[in-house]
């Protein structure tokens, strides 16, 4: 009978039973957690009042076209857009569809994918569009806030009308934002939470002060005003007004994606406060518009923004500073959501493995350097390309409508198949598909005003996902697991066969397989077929990332031998994956118990024998032979996947092997070969 060993890699190791359960501990509702929620989740939707009313007024012909019908109708459309999409769809329904505490479109797909292979398409489409939208959000919110500086006469004298001054300040702020990401969501949230709390109170109070002057704006709560104005001849924007209204709820999808960072309960506890403050801000701007509809001085203001203009001049400096801070935090909501989305995509094999850090104790709070750099560069390009917030607003929101439609489709399968609700899912999908479809159609005009940029980014991201997914599917079709015990005799003969040079005392292969008794055919092919690799021992290591942060343990199966070892490393998500260091500990443990024969390292700069022999790590890369019977599309998918993998980074660095002996070996992908016409043999002197 084979011998299996288990052990801790440190004195503080924790067991794996709890970690292996797959369930994340719920983040408790507390004042501190709610502050983090305000700082991380609501930045995007919380800064919408800075530009929604501005876009509505500009789209309807400017301040000269403002009247009571416009104000009540536009406000009604905004209020019910936020209520239906954010409150009903996302807060009340979507937050219940979590995958072990994680939210977002990929987490949703992971729990419904068994109901249809084709569901991968809306998941990839929606995820790509949301990531692309995350490139635009920091640019538009920060630029809008910085442009508010012009409402302060003293500052206007310095920056003037030169938009490049605004661009320079915006780029500096965005750079600072991305630099601090490595600190982690929790630390950022603790810093941002009080600021956002103050921001929402400011929104509510400033809005309420103007609502008192014109309480008639409360009539906008009646949805009939919105419907009537949508069909009114005085609605000069026509159906396209919905594109501007939609800007009020673009942060709803980010709210869902950020659930893993803060927990569902904390979103439930804070959303009522946030929504009330938002509604008062919109109502207050509407009340100010009614009071100033005939103000001739406002006609001369280019790019009029009611949010800043309604404020007392003495309050504006504070408002601009606070709005700039809120804009930075709005960007944070999309950045943290992007980290979560990419993490889920990696787990679903839609994207290549990327180095991921967990700065906090909660697994949902993570930092992915590659994603951070890409978003950083993308935001900088947007600022330089569009320069003004007016141009950015014209492009903003188109991509996110696509994401919302895809989420609606996946939610239908969640409600209908998993929750087994009969009638409601059909009502849900019909209503929200019609509503979001209307927003999508109304936003199509944005394509020619910059929306093409986000759609281009979304298409690029989706192309990467499709190539990775298709390439992985081809690999899986040819993958074969072989029982290790069937090859023990060959490995035993090989280690004693002195006609082959000893490659290393220990040869190490990393494997994805979690089944102890089986091994990927490619690994055995590398050892036995592609230049037999003699060693004293072969190690096959699998790393399992656990849901507990500090799990630090291992198990070993030796198959009743002293030369084959199957090692499972159980590492908490906060534990660095330093395979070389951990394997040496395992070897020392097995040497101490006699399960591994002594390996004396005779030669050393320290002039004394070492307790452990030499190690060489092999990393396998698959290649496709030109003769393989694979169609053109599959061959292209494989080639593109491998190109993407080279771009994604070095596996040696991921696993702490930078200073180890690492060999990259290419093994053929096992596929059928095309039938090749046999050649005719002729004599040396014959003519062909």
Listing DSSP states for 45-63 in one string gives HHTGGGTHHHHHHHHTTSG
In order of 10, 178, 370, 643, the CA distances from 182 in angstroms are 26, 8, 12, 27
Structural domains of the chain, ranges and CATH numbers in brackets: 41-471 (1.20.1740.10), 481-668 (no CATH)
Task: Summarize pLDDT for 47-81 with one digit per residue, the tens.
Answer: 889 889 888 888 877 778 888 898 999 999 999 99
Task: Look at residue 688 and tell me whether its pLDDT is greater than 90.
Answer: no
The pLDDT confidence band at residue 175, using thresholds 50, 70 and 90, is confident
Instruction: Determine contact, residues 262/255, Cβ cutoff 8 Å.
Output: no
Residue 618's beta-bridge partner residues?
509, 663
DSSP per-residue letters across 199-262: HHHHHHHHHHHHHTT-GGGGGGGSHHHHHHHHT-TT-TTGGGHHHHHGGGGTTHHHHHHTHHHH
Task: Summarize pLDDT for 437-495 with one digit per residue, the tens.
Answer: 988 888 787 777 777 888 888 898 898 888 888 888 877 777 788 888 998 999 999 98
Q: What is the pLDDT, as a whole number, of residue 185?
A: 54
The pLDDT confidence band at residue 334, using thresholds 50, 70 and 90, is confident
Task: Dig out the tokens for 640 from the structure.
Answer: 């593109």
Q: Is the pTM of this model over 0.95?
A: no
CB neighbourhood size of 384 (10 A) = 13
Using DSSP bridges, classify how beta strands 502-510 and 615-623 pair: parallel, antiparallel or unpaired: parallel
376 vs 649: which has the higher pLDDT: 376
Per 3-state DSSP, the chain is made up of helix, strand and coil in percentages (nearest 5) of 60, 10, 30
Task: Look at residue 360 and tell me whether its pLDDT is greater than 90.
Answer: no
Task: Summarize pLDDT for 176-205 with one digit per residue, the tens.
Answer: 888 877 666 556 656 778 888 999 999 999
Q: With 0-12 CB in 10 A as exposed, 13-18 as middle and 19+ as buried, what is 114?
A: exposed
The mean pLDDT value for 89-95 works out to: 91
Task: Look at residue 386 and tell me whether its pLDDT is greater than 70.
Answer: yes
Q: What is the pLDDT, as a whole number, of residue 573?
A: 65
Rounded distance between C-alpha atoms, residue 645 and residue 653, angstroms: 14
Task: Summarize pLDDT for 96-147 with one digit per residue, the tens.
Answer: 888 877 788 888 888 888 888 889 899 999 989 888 887 887 888 788 778 7
The mean pLDDT value for 402-425 works out to: 88
Task: Look at residue 286 and tell me whether its pLDDT is greater than 70.
Answer: yes
Mean pLDDT of the chain: 81
The mean pLDDT value for 564-587 works out to: 82
Task: Summarize pLDDT for 197-218 with one digit per residue, the tens.
Answer: 999 999 999 999 999 988 999 9
Buried b (16+ CB within 10 A) or exposed e, 424-437: ebeebbeebbebbe
Q: With 0-12 CB in 10 A as exposed, 13-18 as middle and 19+ as buried, what is 608?
A: exposed
The pLDDT confidence band at residue 14, using thresholds 50, 70 and 90, is very low
Residues 6+ apart with CB under 8 A from 469: 120, 124, 349, 350
Residue length, the chain? 688
Task: Dig out the tokens for 442 from the structure.
Answer: 């109304």
Instruction: Determine contact, residues 510/521, Cβ cutoff 8 Å.
Output: no
């Amino acid at each position: 009978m084979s011998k299996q060993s288990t052990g801790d890699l440190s004195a503080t190791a924790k067991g794996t039973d709890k970690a292996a359960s797959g369930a994340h501990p719920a983040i408790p509702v507390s004042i501190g957690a709610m502050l983090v929620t305000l700082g991380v989740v609501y930045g995007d939707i919380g800064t919408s009042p800075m530009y929604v009313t501005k876009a509505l007024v500009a789209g309807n012909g400017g301040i000269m076209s403002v009247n009571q019908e416009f104000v009540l109708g536009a406000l009604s459309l905004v209020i019910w857009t936020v209520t239906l999409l954010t409150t009903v769809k996302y807060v009340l329904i979507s937050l219940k569809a979590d995958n072990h505490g994680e939210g977002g479109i990929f987490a949703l797909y992971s729990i419904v994918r068994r109901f249809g292979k084709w569901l991968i398409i809306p998941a990839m489409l929606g995820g790509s569009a949301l990531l692309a939208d995350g490139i635009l959000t920091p640019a538009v919110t920060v630029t809008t806030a910085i442009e508010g500086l012009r409402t302060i006469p003293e500052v206007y004298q310095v920056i003037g009308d030169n938009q490049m001054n605004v661009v320079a300040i915006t780029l500096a702020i965005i750079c600072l934002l991305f630099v601090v990401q490595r600190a982690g969501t929790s630390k950022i949230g603790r810093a941002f939470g009080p600021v956002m709390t103050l921001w929402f109170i400011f929104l509510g109070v400033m809005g309420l002060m103007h609502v008192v002057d014109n309480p008639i704006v409360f009539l906008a709560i009646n949805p009939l005003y919105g419907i009537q104005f949508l069909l009114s001849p005085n609605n000069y924007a026509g159906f396209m007004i919905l594109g501007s209204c939609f800007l009020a709820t673009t942060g709803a999808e980010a709210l869902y994606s950020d659930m893993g960072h803060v927990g569902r309960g904390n979103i439930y506890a804070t959303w009522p406060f946030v929504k009330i403050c938002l509604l008062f801000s919109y109502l207050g701007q509407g009340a100010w518009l009614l009071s100033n509809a005939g103000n001739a001085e406002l006609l001369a203001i280019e790019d009029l923004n009611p949010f800043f203009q309604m404020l007392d001049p003495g309050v504006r400096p504070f408002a601009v500073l606070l709005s700039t801070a809120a804009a930075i935090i709005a960007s944070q909501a999309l950045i943290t959501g992007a980290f979560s989305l990419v993490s889920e995509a990696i787990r679903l094999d839609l994207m290549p493995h990327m180095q991921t850090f967990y700065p906090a104790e909660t697994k949902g709070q993570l930092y992915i350097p590659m994603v951070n750099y890409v978003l950083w560069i993308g935001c900088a390009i947007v600022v330089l390309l569009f320069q003004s917030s007016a141009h950015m607003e014209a492009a903003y929101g188109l991509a996110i409508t696509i994401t919302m439609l895809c989420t609606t489709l996946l939610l239908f399968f969640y409600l209908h198949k998993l929750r087994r609700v009969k009638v409601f899912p059909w009502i849900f999908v019909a209503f929200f598909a019609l509503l979001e479809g209307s927003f999508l159609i109304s936003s199509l005009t944005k394509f020619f005003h910059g929306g093409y940029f986000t759609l281009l980014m979304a298409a690029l991201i989706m192309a990467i996902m499709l190539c990775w997914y298709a390439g992985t599917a081809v690999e899986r079709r040819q993958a074969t697991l072989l029982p290790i015990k069937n090859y023990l005799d060959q490995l035993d003969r090989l280690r004693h066969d002195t006609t082959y040079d000893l490659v290393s005392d220990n040869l190490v292969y990393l494997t994805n397989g979690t089944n102890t008794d089986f091994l990927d055919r490619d690994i055995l092919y590398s050892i036995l077929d592609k230049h037999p690799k003699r060693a004293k021992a072969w190690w096959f290591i699998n790393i399992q990332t656990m849901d507990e942060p500090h799990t630090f343990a291992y198990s070993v199966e030796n198959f009743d031998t002293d030369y084959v070892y199957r090692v499972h490393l159980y590492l908490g998500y906060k534990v660095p994956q330093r395979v070389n260091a951990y394997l040496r500990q395992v070897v020392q443990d097995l040497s101490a118990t006699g399960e591994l024969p002594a390996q004396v390292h005779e030669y050393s700069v320290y002039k004394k024998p070492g307790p452990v022999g030499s190690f060489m790590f092999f990393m396998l890369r698959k290649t496709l032979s030109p003769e393989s019977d694979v169609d053109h599309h599959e061959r292209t998918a494989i080639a593109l996947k491998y190109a993407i993998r080279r771009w994604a980074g070095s596996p040696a660095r991921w696993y702490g092997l930078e200073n180890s002996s690492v060999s990259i070996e290419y093994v053929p992908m096992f596929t059928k070969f095309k039938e090749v016409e046999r050649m005719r043999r002729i004599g040396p002197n014959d003519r062909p």
